Every structure is written in C-alpha cells, then in structure tokens.
Amino acid sequence: MNMRMRSLIALATIVASLVACHATPAPKSPAGVQSRTFLLQSSMGADLLAETTVHLRLTDNDLSFTANCNHMGGSYTIEHERVITGALEQTAMGCDPERHAQDDWLLKFFASKPKLVLQGNTLTFSNDASSLVFLDRELADPDRPLQGTVWEINAYTDAKTAMGLMGIVPPRLTFAADGTWQARSVCLDASGRYTVDGDRIEVTDTRATQGACTDNDKAAADFVRSVLVDGVLTYEVEARSLELKSSGPRSLGANVAEAAARP
C-alpha cells in the first residue's frame, strides 16, 4: 500500500470519527426521570426557608422548579452525570423578599452544574457546597381521592378570564360515596347527583339556592354554578389539587381544604 493510499485511509477515519461525534446527541435526563415530578425531602447547605415545598419536573429537554413563589426553568443536558443548564428563566410573581432570595439561591444552585443521581424514586442533586434530595411526587404527596375529600374552590377560568378567588370565604365542594355532591359557600347551597366514568363526571338533578352576600362572594357562587350544572365534566386530581372542566370553556380549580369548620 503506497503512502498516498495510507493518507487517504487515515483522513477517512478521522472524518468518520468526527461525523460520529456530531451525530451522537447530547445525553438528556437519565432513564426513569422523564415526565416525573419530584418534591424536596431534605437538603444540606441550602439557604431555604422553613416549610418550603420545592417542586421539580424533568422532561427530555427541560427542567422546571418552583418553591412557593416564581416558576423557574430552562433547557438542560447531562454531561458526566452533571446537569448543564441553558439560560434559566423565571416568572415575575410578587413575593416577599425572603422568597425572592430563596428563588435566587435555587437558580444559582441549578446553574452550578450539580451532579445528578437517581436511585429508585429518590433524585439527588449536589455540588461542592450543597445537596438537594427529592422524592417522586406520587410517593411524597399522593393523589387524593375524588370521593370523600373536602375540596376548597380557589380558581375559575373561562374563554376570557382566569382568576383566583381571593378575598372571600372559598366555596367547598364534596363528592360523597353515595353518589351525591354538594357545594356550599356563605351564600350558595347547591347539590345534586353524579356518576364517574374514568375521568368523566356526569352531574344530574342539580339544585341550588343563593342568598344575600358580598359582590365577591356572589361572583364566586356564580362561577361555581356555571360549571356545576347538569351535564358532563372532566376532572383531574394531582396530589392536593382538583381541576373540573365543563364541556365548554369553563373550569374550576380546587385544593384540599384545610382542617376547619365547613361554611
């Protein structure tokens, strides 16, 4: 084999290697992490407030997290077991200075190229100074049952409006095991029957009375009545939250009610 042929073979080998390198995609999240939500269980060296709940979600391409204030996140890749983020962005919620400082700490932590280790349902991020240990949300905070839970309605949306129901006594909603439902507030008493089929709820025999109350409480009662009318709703429960959607553009959001006397 002459020198020219050896040179051509060597060049072809180098080109093939370069093409192979560029054709191999950067590794993303480790197997078992994609499309799962994790909740913070413990931390070391972290500047976090007491009773903070940190939610973390990973997909193939994106990382997002929140700690009772802003929603933050961005793109990422995994290199040598370390999380390499792109530019991290955040919403602009009006929180107290301590929670803004906490958000800033989390942004810096996830931008520090922390090491990522998944062991079963436990996900750990660590750098030289700090570590955060997360547990799969379905274990840390399992979905509450639709039936028998007291739901406190706190949000309403339609084609033009998305609003939190603040400054009022939140209406409370229950679905009993005997197939009846009830929604009550300071000026609303509504009830009826229901059946469940998968993620669908059929509401029937709705009855409602509404008394005198403030304008805000009346508006909240009207929102509830506009969704809980005879017909088919779809629902989704995630941890402590419930979303009810009508066949039109209206929906209600609710959380598990705190231990308190019902209205």
Instruction: Tell me the helix, strand and coil percentages in the chain, rounded to 5.
Output: 20, 40, 40
Ranges of H-type helices in the chain = 3-23, 97-110, 137-140, 215-227
Query: Are residues 165 and 186 located together in one domain of the fold?
Result: yes
Mean pLDDT value across the chain? 84
**Torsional class of 68: left (φ above 0), alpha (ψ -120 to 50), beta (otherwise):** left
Last residue of a domain, one of 98, 116, 140: 140
Question: What confidence score (pLDDT) does residue 163 get?
Answer: 62
Q: What is 138-173 written as a DSSP string? A: HHHSPPPPSBT--EEEEEEE-SS-EEE--SS---EE
| Residues 216, 120 within the same domain | no
Per-residue confidence (pLDDT) for residue 93, from 0 to 100: 75
Which residue has better confidence, 13 or 138?
138
pLDDT of residue 113: 96
Which residue has 């009772």 as its token pair? 68
Q: What is the pTM of this model?
A: 0.66
Do the domain assignments include residue 210?
A: yes
What per-residue confidence (pLDDT) applies to 170?
87
Q: Is the pLDDT of residue 27 over 60?
A: no
Does residue 41 lie within any of the structural domains?
A: yes
Residue 237: C-alpha distances to residues 134, 180, 203, 225, 244 (Å): 21, 19, 18, 20, 9
Q: Are 155 and 118 within one domain?
A: no
| Separation of alpha carbons 56 and 14, rounded Å | 42
The predicted model gives 28-41 an average pLDDT of 75
Is there a single domain that holds both residue 126 and residue 54? yes
Q: Are residues 55 and 127 in the same domain?
A: yes
Tell me: do 165 and 122 sit in the same domain.
Answer: no
Domain count, the chain: 2
Higher pLDDT, 258 or 208: 208
In a domain, 197, yes or no: yes
Tell whether 112 is covered by a domain: yes
Tell me, what's the pLDDT at 211? Answer: 86
Whether the CB-CB separation of 202 and 195 falls below 8 Å is answered with yes
Same domain, 248 and 155: yes
Is the pLDDT at 13 greater than 90? The verdict is no
The token pair at 60 is 């193939």
Calculate mean pLDDT across residues 54-75: 92
Per-residue pLDDT at 144 exceeds 50: yes
**Least confident stretch, 21-35, 106-120, 211-225:** 21-35
Q: Residue 90 is part of which domain span? A: 36-140
| Structural domain contains residue 31 | no
Q: What tens digit of pLDDT does each residue of 187-212 get?
A: 899 999 999 999 999 999 999 998 88
Strand 89-90 versus strand 172-175 pairing type: unpaired
